[in-house]
Amino acid sequence: MAESVRDVVVDVVTRLAPEELPLLRGLDGLSSEEVVALFGRRQRGEPLGFGLAEAAALATPVVWMAVDEACRAAVGAGVRRAGGGLRRLWRRGRARPAVEPPVPPLDERQLAAVHARVRTGAREAGFDEPAAGALADCVVARLAMEPGAPAPPAEPGSGAGRGSGAPLLPEPPA
């Protein structure tokens, strides 16, 4: 079974920021579209958009928005290639599907774009460079996996995971 943006986000957050799992559980009642709207809402001075200054160092919104953008870009490119009839269906409003759309396979160029987007988003959210890189590496590794395959273990010394001794997330401001 193909996996959704939510599945990818849950896997990455479980591995690198398990303290954010309550946030993910709080999003269970929302569709992927609603989560994107929530995380994408711009508030005054809030770089991530969802209005919680103390939450600016969360991995969840960075990963969700980057994976969602990659999926939309990949699906949009397919719709453009398919021609007018499919494009008209795409533009027409549809009822929310019972199952979230799957993450399409991404090529190397698309994975590189996701890596750059996650790294940039993480830096803007307050992650230090090693943590931003580890988060981006984990997201791309997860997207490159076959659906249903077990996630690769975090590399020692990468700043990812609990065993490395280095926290992924920066300390919250005092």
Q: Where are the domains of the chain?
A: 5-164
Ordered alpha helix ranges (H), 41-160: 59-82, 84-91, 108-124, 129-144
| pLDDT tens-digit readout, 85-144 | 444 554 555 444 456 778 899 999 999 999 999 999 999 988 999 999 999 999 999 999
3-state secondary structure of 4: strand
Q: What is the pTM of this model?
A: 0.69
Rounded CA separation 17/13 (Å): 5
Residue 71: how many other CB atoms lie within 10 Å = 23
| pLDDT tens-digit readout, 29-50 | 899 889 988 888 754 444 444 4
Residue 125 burial by Cβ neighbours in a 10 Å radius (0-12, 13-18, 19+): buried
Q: Please name the residue that has the structure tokens 């993450």.
A: 103
